[in-house]
Amino acid sequence: MDLLHGTWPWWLGALVLSTLTVGFYILARRPLGFSSSLARVLDFKTERRMAKAQAAALRDPAAFDRALREATLAEFGQAAATGCDQDGAPPAAPAIAPRPPWSAQLTFVVMIAVGGFLGAALSGDFALRLDLGAEFARLVAGGGWLWPMLLLAGLLVGFGAQMAGGCTSGHGLSGCSRLQPGSLLATACFFGTAVGVSFLLAWVAS
Amino acid sequence: MTAKTCPHNKACPLFAKFQVQSFLRIWQMNYCQADYSRCARFVLRSQGKQVPVNLLPNGREVAGLDGPGWD
Protein backbone atom coordinates (compact mmCIF):
# COMPACT_ATOMS: atom_id res chain seq x y z
CA MET A 1 0.00 0.00 0.00
CA ASP A 2 1.45 3.34 -1.07
CA LEU A 3 0.61 5.79 1.69
CA LEU A 4 2.33 8.76 0.13
CA HIS A 5 0.38 8.88 -3.09
CA GLY A 6 -3.34 8.96 -3.67
CA THR A 7 -6.14 8.70 -1.14
CA TRP A 8 -5.87 6.47 1.90
CA PRO A 9 -8.39 3.65 2.30
CA TRP A 10 -11.32 4.73 4.44
CA TRP A 11 -10.56 2.30 7.25
CA LEU A 12 -7.00 3.55 7.61
CA GLY A 13 -8.10 7.16 7.70
CA ALA A 14 -10.70 6.28 10.32
CA LEU A 15 -8.12 4.42 12.39
CA VAL A 16 -5.68 7.34 12.31
CA LEU A 17 -8.33 9.94 13.12
CA SER A 18 -9.79 7.91 15.99
CA THR A 19 -6.31 7.32 17.41
CA LEU A 20 -5.64 11.04 17.17
CA THR A 21 -8.95 11.92 18.83
CA VAL A 22 -8.56 9.47 21.70
CA GLY A 23 -4.84 10.18 22.07
CA PHE A 24 -5.42 13.93 22.26
CA TYR A 25 -8.02 13.43 24.97
CA ILE A 26 -5.76 11.15 26.98
CA LEU A 27 -2.82 13.55 26.77
CA ALA A 28 -4.62 16.88 27.07
CA ARG A 29 -7.74 15.78 29.00
CA ARG A 30 -9.70 17.93 26.56
CA PRO A 31 -11.64 17.12 23.39
CA LEU A 32 -9.73 17.61 20.18
CA GLY A 33 -10.72 20.74 18.29
CA PHE A 34 -8.73 22.80 15.84
CA SER A 35 -10.78 25.99 15.92
CA SER A 36 -10.69 26.20 19.71
CA SER A 37 -6.93 25.61 19.67
CA LEU A 38 -6.47 28.29 17.03
CA ALA A 39 -8.68 30.69 18.99
CA ARG A 40 -6.52 30.20 22.07
CA VAL A 41 -3.34 30.72 20.09
CA LEU A 42 -4.63 33.96 18.60
CA ASP A 43 -5.99 35.21 21.91
CA PHE A 44 -2.55 35.30 23.44
CA LYS A 45 -3.22 38.55 25.31
CA THR A 46 -5.96 36.91 27.35
CA GLU A 47 -3.68 33.94 27.97
CA ARG A 48 -0.98 36.22 29.32
CA ARG A 49 -3.40 38.14 31.50
CA MET A 50 -4.86 34.96 32.94
CA ALA A 51 -1.45 33.52 33.66
CA LYS A 52 -0.56 36.69 35.55
CA ALA A 53 -3.77 36.55 37.56
CA GLN A 54 -3.15 32.93 38.45
CA ALA A 55 0.45 33.67 39.42
CA ALA A 56 -0.61 36.57 41.62
CA ALA A 57 -3.25 34.46 43.35
CA LEU A 58 -0.72 31.72 44.05
CA ARG A 59 2.01 34.11 45.09
CA ASP A 60 0.01 35.78 47.84
CA PRO A 61 -3.10 33.83 48.86
CA ALA A 62 -3.63 36.09 51.89
CA ALA A 63 -3.75 39.20 49.71
CA PHE A 64 -6.12 37.43 47.35
CA ASP A 65 -8.37 36.53 50.27
CA ARG A 66 -8.35 40.12 51.51
CA ALA A 67 -9.29 41.33 48.05
CA LEU A 68 -12.06 38.73 47.92
CA ARG A 69 -13.45 39.95 51.24
CA GLU A 70 -13.45 43.54 50.03
CA ALA A 71 -15.16 42.56 46.79
CA THR A 72 -17.75 40.54 48.71
CA LEU A 73 -18.50 43.40 51.08
CA ALA A 74 -18.74 45.79 48.14
CA GLU A 75 -21.26 43.48 46.45
CA PHE A 76 -23.38 42.40 49.40
CA GLY A 77 -22.56 44.84 52.17
CA GLN A 78 -22.47 43.69 55.77
CA ALA A 79 -24.93 40.93 54.92
CA ALA A 80 -21.90 38.98 53.80
CA ALA A 81 -20.49 39.02 57.31
CA THR A 82 -23.80 38.19 59.02
CA GLY A 83 -23.58 34.85 60.66
CA CYS A 84 -19.93 34.88 59.85
CA ASP A 85 -18.37 31.66 60.94
CA GLN A 86 -14.80 31.12 61.87
CA ASP A 87 -12.14 31.31 59.31
CA GLY A 88 -11.62 27.86 57.96
CA ALA A 89 -9.68 25.93 55.47
CA PRO A 90 -10.69 26.56 51.89
CA PRO A 91 -12.86 23.97 50.18
CA ALA A 92 -11.24 21.00 48.57
CA ALA A 93 -9.29 21.66 45.42
CA PRO A 94 -11.43 21.60 42.29
CA ALA A 95 -11.47 18.49 40.20
CA ILE A 96 -11.24 20.29 36.89
CA ALA A 97 -8.48 19.08 34.62
CA PRO A 98 -6.07 21.89 33.80
CA ARG A 99 -6.04 23.15 30.25
CA PRO A 100 -3.06 22.38 28.08
CA PRO A 101 -0.61 25.28 28.11
CA TRP A 102 -0.77 27.89 25.38
CA SER A 103 2.53 26.68 23.96
CA ALA A 104 1.06 23.18 23.51
CA GLN A 105 -1.86 24.62 21.55
CA LEU A 106 0.54 26.62 19.42
CA THR A 107 2.57 23.49 18.76
CA PHE A 108 -0.58 21.60 17.76
CA VAL A 109 -1.68 24.32 15.31
CA VAL A 110 1.78 24.75 13.79
CA MET A 111 2.35 21.02 13.43
CA ILE A 112 -0.89 20.63 11.47
CA ALA A 113 0.58 22.95 8.85
CA VAL A 114 3.97 21.24 9.09
CA GLY A 115 2.34 17.82 8.68
CA GLY A 116 0.46 18.98 5.64
CA PHE A 117 3.64 20.35 4.12
CA LEU A 118 5.61 17.19 4.89
CA GLY A 119 2.90 15.00 3.40
CA ALA A 120 2.89 17.03 0.18
CA ALA A 121 6.68 17.26 0.04
CA LEU A 122 7.26 13.54 0.61
CA SER A 123 4.71 12.60 -2.00
CA GLY A 124 6.37 14.91 -4.50
CA ASP A 125 3.15 16.87 -4.96
CA PHE A 126 4.28 20.04 -3.25
CA ALA A 127 4.15 23.13 -5.42
CA LEU A 128 3.55 26.77 -4.68
CA ARG A 129 0.61 28.01 -6.68
CA LEU A 130 -1.76 30.95 -6.62
CA ASP A 131 -4.85 29.22 -7.91
CA LEU A 132 -6.98 26.22 -7.05
CA GLY A 133 -6.94 24.60 -10.44
CA ALA A 134 -8.81 24.96 -13.68
CA GLU A 135 -11.86 23.04 -12.51
CA PHE A 136 -12.29 25.28 -9.46
CA ALA A 137 -11.88 28.36 -11.66
CA ARG A 138 -14.52 27.06 -14.05
CA LEU A 139 -17.07 26.02 -11.44
CA VAL A 140 -16.57 28.41 -8.55
CA ALA A 141 -14.26 31.35 -9.01
CA GLY A 142 -11.14 32.19 -10.90
CA GLY A 143 -9.05 35.13 -11.96
CA GLY A 144 -9.74 38.25 -9.96
CA TRP A 145 -12.66 36.63 -8.13
CA LEU A 146 -10.58 33.87 -6.57
CA TRP A 147 -9.16 35.81 -3.63
CA PRO A 148 -12.33 37.70 -2.69
CA MET A 149 -14.18 34.37 -2.85
CA LEU A 150 -11.61 32.66 -0.61
CA LEU A 151 -11.67 35.60 1.78
CA LEU A 152 -15.45 35.41 2.03
CA ALA A 153 -15.35 31.63 2.42
CA GLY A 154 -12.75 31.90 5.18
CA LEU A 155 -14.82 34.50 7.01
CA LEU A 156 -17.90 32.29 6.79
CA VAL A 157 -15.98 29.28 8.08
CA GLY A 158 -14.60 31.25 11.01
CA PHE A 159 -17.96 32.83 11.76
CA GLY A 160 -19.74 29.49 11.53
CA ALA A 161 -17.21 27.74 13.76
CA GLN A 162 -17.59 30.45 16.37
CA MET A 163 -21.39 30.37 16.18
CA ALA A 164 -21.48 26.57 16.38
CA GLY A 165 -18.90 26.37 19.14
CA GLY A 166 -16.55 24.24 17.08
CA CYS A 167 -15.50 23.13 13.63
CA THR A 168 -15.38 19.84 11.76
CA SER A 169 -12.76 18.33 14.03
CA GLY A 170 -14.40 19.46 17.26
CA HIS A 171 -17.96 18.48 16.37
CA GLY A 172 -17.31 15.78 13.78
CA LEU A 173 -14.61 13.87 15.66
CA SER A 174 -14.79 14.76 19.32
CA GLY A 175 -18.45 15.66 19.65
CA CYS A 176 -19.90 12.81 17.59
CA SER A 177 -17.68 10.25 19.29
CA ARG A 178 -19.17 11.37 22.61
CA LEU A 179 -22.69 11.37 21.13
CA GLN A 180 -23.21 15.03 21.92
CA PRO A 181 -26.59 16.03 20.44
CA GLY A 182 -25.34 19.46 19.35
CA SER A 183 -22.35 17.93 17.61
CA LEU A 184 -24.48 15.31 15.87
CA LEU A 185 -26.75 18.06 14.56
CA ALA A 186 -23.86 20.33 13.56
CA THR A 187 -22.10 17.48 11.75
CA ALA A 188 -25.29 16.48 9.96
CA CYS A 189 -25.68 20.10 8.84
CA PHE A 190 -22.20 20.71 7.52
CA PHE A 191 -21.75 17.26 6.00
CA GLY A 192 -25.22 17.40 4.50
CA THR A 193 -24.46 20.80 3.02
CA ALA A 194 -21.14 19.53 1.66
CA VAL A 195 -22.83 16.55 0.00
CA GLY A 196 -25.50 18.83 -1.46
CA VAL A 197 -22.96 21.29 -2.82
CA SER A 198 -20.91 18.43 -4.31
CA PHE A 199 -23.96 17.14 -6.17
CA LEU A 200 -24.78 20.67 -7.28
CA LEU A 201 -21.28 21.23 -8.65
CA ALA A 202 -21.33 17.85 -10.38
CA TRP A 203 -24.64 18.79 -11.97
CA VAL A 204 -23.28 22.18 -13.06
CA ALA A 205 -20.15 20.57 -14.46
CA SER A 206 -22.04 17.98 -16.48
CA MET B 1 -35.13 29.26 33.49
CA THR B 2 -32.04 27.44 34.66
CA ALA B 3 -31.68 24.43 36.90
CA LYS B 4 -31.56 25.05 40.61
CA THR B 5 -27.84 24.71 41.14
CA CYS B 6 -24.96 25.51 38.83
CA PRO B 7 -23.38 22.33 37.43
CA HIS B 8 -19.95 23.72 38.32
CA ASN B 9 -20.96 24.46 41.89
CA LYS B 10 -18.75 21.83 43.43
CA ALA B 11 -15.65 22.49 41.37
CA CYS B 12 -15.51 26.23 40.76
CA PRO B 13 -11.83 27.18 41.19
CA LEU B 14 -12.79 30.48 42.78
CA PHE B 15 -14.26 28.74 45.82
CA ALA B 16 -10.89 27.38 46.90
CA LYS B 17 -9.65 30.94 47.32
CA PHE B 18 -12.14 31.88 50.04
CA GLN B 19 -10.92 31.63 53.61
CA VAL B 20 -14.16 32.83 55.16
CA GLN B 21 -16.98 30.43 54.47
CA SER B 22 -19.80 32.92 54.98
CA PHE B 23 -18.32 35.14 52.28
CA LEU B 24 -18.24 32.19 49.93
CA ARG B 25 -21.75 31.13 50.83
CA ILE B 26 -23.30 34.49 50.00
CA TRP B 27 -21.86 34.30 46.49
CA GLN B 28 -23.16 30.75 46.16
CA MET B 29 -26.61 31.70 47.43
CA ASN B 30 -26.88 34.62 45.03
CA TYR B 31 -25.37 33.00 41.97
CA CYS B 32 -24.62 29.26 42.12
CA GLN B 33 -27.88 28.32 43.84
CA ALA B 34 -29.99 31.04 42.26
CA ASP B 35 -30.05 32.24 38.66
CA TYR B 36 -26.55 31.10 37.80
CA SER B 37 -27.03 31.93 34.12
CA ARG B 38 -26.05 35.50 35.07
CA CYS B 39 -22.78 34.34 36.65
CA ALA B 40 -19.92 35.71 34.57
CA ARG B 41 -17.85 32.62 35.30
CA PHE B 42 -20.65 30.29 34.18
CA VAL B 43 -21.19 32.32 31.02
CA LEU B 44 -17.52 32.16 30.03
CA ARG B 45 -17.33 28.44 30.83
CA SER B 46 -20.46 27.77 28.80
CA GLN B 47 -18.86 29.48 25.83
CA GLY B 48 -15.89 27.15 26.12
CA LYS B 49 -13.62 30.00 27.14
CA GLN B 50 -11.12 30.05 29.92
CA VAL B 51 -12.25 31.54 33.19
CA PRO B 52 -9.76 33.80 35.00
CA VAL B 53 -9.24 32.76 38.58
CA ASN B 54 -9.89 36.32 39.73
CA LEU B 55 -13.19 36.76 37.89
CA LEU B 56 -16.12 37.19 40.25
CA PRO B 57 -19.63 36.00 39.42
CA ASN B 58 -20.75 39.62 39.05
CA GLY B 59 -18.29 40.12 36.18
CA ARG B 60 -15.79 42.19 38.13
CA GLU B 61 -12.24 41.09 38.71
CA VAL B 62 -10.71 40.87 42.15
CA ALA B 63 -8.82 44.11 42.48
CA GLY B 64 -6.26 45.63 44.77
CA LEU B 65 -3.54 43.10 44.25
CA ASP B 66 -0.72 45.35 43.29
CA GLY B 67 2.60 43.89 42.47
CA PRO B 68 4.54 42.37 39.65
CA GLY B 69 2.56 40.10 37.47
CA TRP B 70 -0.82 41.65 38.22
CA ASP B 71 -2.45 43.98 35.77
Is it the case that residue A81 has pLDDT exceeding 90?
Answer: no
Confidence of residue B68 (pLDDT cuts 50, 70, 90): very low
* DSSP state, residue A3: S
B-chain CB neighbours of A48 within 8 Å are none
**CA of B11, closest CA in chain A: separation in Å?**
4
Give Cα B54 to chain centroid, integer Å: 8
**Interchain pair B23, A68: CB under 8 A:** yes
> Which band of pLDDT confidence, cut at 50, 70 and 90, is reported for residue A53?
confident
Under a CB-based contact definition with an 8 Å cutoff, are residues B1 and A77 in contact?
A: no
Q: Select from B13, B47, B56 the Cβ nearest to the Cβ of A71.
A: B56
The chain-wide mean pLDDT, for chain A, equals: 83
pLDDT at B49: 77
Average pLDDT over residues A144-151: 89
Query: At residue A19, does pLDDT exceed 90?
Result: yes
**Closest Cα of chain B to A18: distance in Å?**
23
- Under an 8 A CB cutoff, do B63 and A84 touch? no
Query: How many whole angstroms separate alpha carbon B3 and alpha carbon A141?
Result: 50
Interface size between A and B, measured as CB pairs under 8 A: 113
Does the beta-carbon distance from A88 to B21 stay under 8 Å?
A: yes
pLDDT average, residue stretch A23-43: 85
Q: For residues B42 and B36, is the Cβ–Cβ distance under 8 A?
A: yes
Which residue did the predictor score with more confidence, A85 or A76? A76
pTM for the model = 0.67
Helix (H, G, I), strand (E, B) or coil at A87: strand
Average pLDDT of the residues in A182-187: 93
The residue of chain A with its CA nearest to that of B52 is A50
Q: What is the ipTM of this complex?
A: 0.81
Q: Terminal CA-to-CA distance of chain A, rounded, Å?
A: 33
Question: Cβ contacts of residue A30 below 8 Å, gap of 6+?
Answer: A24, A97, A99, A100
B36 class by beta-carbon count within 10 Å (0-12 exposed, 13-18 middle, 19+ buried): buried
Partner A contacted by B21 (CB < 8 A): yes
pLDDT in tens, B9-58: 878 888 888 888 888 888 988 899 888 899 999 998 887 777 888 889 99
* Model pLDDT, residue A194: 93
User: What's the pLDDT score for residue A112?
Assistant: 92
Confidence at residue A101, expressed as pLDDT on a 0 to 100 scale: 81
The CA distance from A179 to A183, in Å, is 7
**Dihedral (Cα; A15, A16, A22, A26), 10-degree rounding:** 140
The answer to whether residues A205 and A139 touch, using CB atoms and an 8 Å cutoff, is yes
Residue A114 pLDDT exceeds 90: yes
Does residue B66 surpass a pLDDT of 50? Answer: no
